[in-house]
Structure 1
Amino acid sequence: MERDDRDALLARLKVFEGQPAAVAGRGRDPVNLPMIRHWCEAMGDTDPAYTGPDAVAPPTMLQVWTMAGLSGHADRSGPYDALLGLLDAAGCTSVVATDSEQEYTRPLRPGDEVTFDTVIESVSERKATKLGTGYFVTTRTDVRVGPDLAGTHRFRILKYAPADRSRRATARRPRPVVNRDNAGFWEGVRHHRLLVQRCTGCATPRHPWLPGCNACGCPDWDTVEAGGEGTVYSYVVMHHPPFPAFAPAADRESGAAGPYAVGLIELPEGVRMISNVIGVPYDKVRIGLPVRLEFQAYDEELTLPVFRAREDLA
């Protein structure tokens, strides 16, 4: 795309900033205990604040109460869909969610009826990324109960034209998103240390890293270094889509992208984390398999913690 065409497209995209993506939307269901229970079970969150007659919903469920479900939103003729259509026409036919931010101003309680308004907050200039070239689109959703603001949810996607994979000499592993909340974790990984956050108020460990304790709400924390031992708590085997960057090392060299195992690893420090299980064929991974922490370099910039099956106990 020529520079004049890019400038013209950006001008058309910028027109959408400030336009509504949803007006006076309503949650499909009131805030309710069954959904809160399912969420807490999935997250392993046992905070008593989320149970009983005085229960509140976990703040991070904010977006849940606004979601349209599998049927989606009926109206596909608004500014947001027009914006996405314009990007599709410009060749940006792929999309990936990149990050989200939430602010909480009022607890949500069972029985609350949620309403929300969403606005297209910003459209970035044209950006070149490892996935391809495109535009970051940010929406802001204000969630209310009656006239009271309960929280704000910002959601950002990249709408992009996929890069020409045939020009890539090698498949590079995607970079992790490093932000102010998890920078300490990635700094530890860079020095081959697996650091677990620990609340200084109630000593509850947590992973992934968060700005505050989900057990007692304390904002203060320190870290403990994981000893390196663990067990497979659960796992999946990835067959599709094939992506060479995630294939085992031997397959990456050949360009093949065979199945690989992703494990939920339970550490004796009291947390679980997701990573690759290596050192054993994917079809030999099992729940309870003992593993040991390793740090694997994928290129000159990226090192990640992975877990190797212990040969003495595999």
Structure 2
Amino acid sequence: MADSQLLTDVRALVGREYGRVYAWDEVNAPMIRQWCEIMGVDNPLYTDAAFAANSAQDGLVAPPAMLQVWCMEGFHLNNYAPGSTTENPYEVLKLIESYGYPSVVAVNSELTFNRNLRPGEKLYYTTRLDSVGDEKTTGLGTGFFVTLVMNYFVEHKSGDEAVGELLFRVFKFRPTQNHSAEAAPAKVESAPAVKRPKPGMSDDTRFFWEGCDAGKLLIQRCTQCQTLRHPPAPVCIECHSFDWDSVQASGRASLYSFVIMHYPEVAPFDHPNPIGLIELEEGVRLVAGLVGVKREELNIGQPLQLEFQTFDGELTLPMFRPVIA
């Protein structure tokens, strides 16, 4: 049962509003174009001014899914735009952790859009601790579901306008441990080793994972127009044909982009955990782990080489290692 003082302290925080976090820049066409390029979005409403001017939108708009992007801190941790609050909206997680609930896992995130954003608009968001649920026991362990809501606004001289909302929910928990009921305290059984989660497999993706098991990186190819595509899909994005085969990638690649996962620390992954957006020599991109490199050694565009690693004796994944000149 949860500590009564913990419940008192947590409930005192529910409903608290945290200050503004400002965007570094106005909504702008270059960022929209780069985001669309990276995400593979090809909608002229976002990038073609002439097309957008003659549409129902009457001009360029930003992709709705970019809402969170505008107010992000940037490349360096906690490097928020001038004027942003220094309050920590995640203080409730630290509070719960101090009572012996050390682990966290993201549960879900929901974006709500009131309207499209347009170039030239300047955003900020505020954060509200929406709720902390009662103590729950799940397969992961015992803890609390914590929900935060970020409300996004566009600044106007006549009064700021709410344009969207991000709901973010996590589970802050104490991991389940297996204890022998009859054993003395000195003989507490250790928890089983956590295995890497297996990817979802369907008829569309089975060839890819079977290829990994065989030490081959297979890329789907349309047999009608020869277009390569990844992730695998049932229909060609160019000619809409359902006919396809696969080709084996050479394994030569370059680093198109990357992130370093610091928090939360999720077993069994190493931390910090570098994850790359890999551009294969053949022209398609995929997300994969980076090995044999430190954060300060990563550079956009650096050459990489494929290698396969097997985890838990059953899961083979494509990983990429920097090529040493």
* TM-score between both structures, scaled by the size of structure 1: 0.56
- Separation (CA, whole Å) in 1 of partners of 2:276 and 2:90: 37
Pair 1:119 & 2:135 matched:
no
- Bigger Cα displacement from structure 2, 102-111 vs 35-44: 35-44
Query: Match for 2:85 among 46, 67, 74?
Result: 74
* Kept in 1: contact 2:150–2:166 (CA 8 A): yes
Q: How does 1:165-244 map to 2 (within 5 A)?
A: 168=190, 171-175=193-197, 188=206, 192=210, 205=229, 207=231, 227-229=247-249, 231-234=251-254
- One-letter code aligned to 2:10: L
Hey, what does 1:13 align to over in structure 2?
10
Change (3 A) 1:35 1:297: same
- The reply on whether 1:273 has 2:286 as its aligned counterpart is yes
- Distance, in Å, in 2 between the alignment partners of 1:244 and 1:23 is 33
* Contact map agreement 2:219 2:228 (CA 8 A) in 1: no
Matching residue of 1:157: 170
* Aligned 8 A contact 2:21 2:85 in 1: no
User: Deviations for 1:202-225, whole angstroms, at most 9, x for unmatched residues?
Assistant: x9956499xxxxx99xxx998967
| CA positional deviation for 1:27 | 3.3
Q: Which amino acid aligns with 2:303?
A: I
In 1, the alpha carbon distance for the partners of 2:91 and 2:290 equals: 43
Q: Are the equivalent residues in 1 in contact too, given 2:219–2:249 (CA < 8 A)?
A: no
- Structure 2's unaligned 5+ residue stretches are 50-58, 178-187, 212-217, 294-301
SS in 1 for 2:303: coil
Q: Secondary structure at the match of 1:109?
A: coil
Given the alignment, which residue of 23, 30, 40 partners 1:27? Answer: 23
Question: Is residue 102–residue 151 contact of structure 1 (8 Å, CA) maintained in 2?
Answer: yes
Post-superposition shift, 1:90?
A: 1.0
- Residue 116 of structure 2 corresponds to 107
Q: Can you list the C-alpha shifts for 1:168-198, whole angstroms capped at 9, x where unaligned?
A: 576433436x8xxx785898489848897x9
Residues of 2 paired with 1:276 and 1:105: CA distance? Answer: 36
- Counterpart-to-counterpart distance in 2, 1:223 and 1:157: 41
Shift of 1:62: 1.0
CA distance in 1, matches of 2:5, 2:245: 52
**Preserved contact between residue 233 and residue 263 of structure 1 (Cα < 8 Å):** no
Once residues 35 and 121 of structure 1 are traced to their aligned partners in structure 2, the CA distance between those partners, rounded to angstroms, is 31
CA distance in 2, matches of 1:12, 1:189: 52
Structure number with greater Rg is 2
Secondary structure of 1:274's counterpart equals strand
Would you say the 8 A contact 2:254–2:280 is kept in 1?
no
Counterpart of 2:62 in structure 1 is 57
Deviation at 1:44, TM superposition (A): 5.5
Residues 140, 155 of structure 1: 8 Å contact kept: yes
Change (3 A) 1:306 1:227: same
Aligned to 1:250: none
Q: What residue identity is the alignment partner of 1:122?
A: S
Q: Is the 8 A contact 2:113 2:163 kept in 1?
A: yes
Q: Secondary structure at the match of 1:36?
A: helix
Q: 1:298 aligns with which of 286, 294, 312?
A: 312
- For residue 150 of structure 1, report the CA deviation from its aligned partner: 3.1
* Structure 1 residue 66 displacement after superposition: 2.8
Counterpart amino acid of residue 285 in structure 2 = R
Task: Return the offset for 1:101.
Answer: 2.7
- Structure-2 separation of matches of 1:243 and 1:20: 28
Query: Which residue identity lines up with residue 121 of structure 1 in the other structure?
Result: D
Aligned equivalents of 2:149, 2:281: Cα separation in 1: 39
Distance 1:112 1:190, change over 3 A: same
- 1:111 offset after TM fit, Å? 0.6
C-alpha deviation, 1:112, in angstroms = 1.2
> Contact between 1:96 and 1:157, CA under 8 Å: does it hold in 2?
yes
**Any idea what the Cα deviations from partners look like across 1:80-102, whole Å, max 9, x if unmatched?**
45523421431335655554332
The letter for the 2-side match of 1:116 is Y
Q: Which residue identity does 2:147 align to in structure 1?
A: T
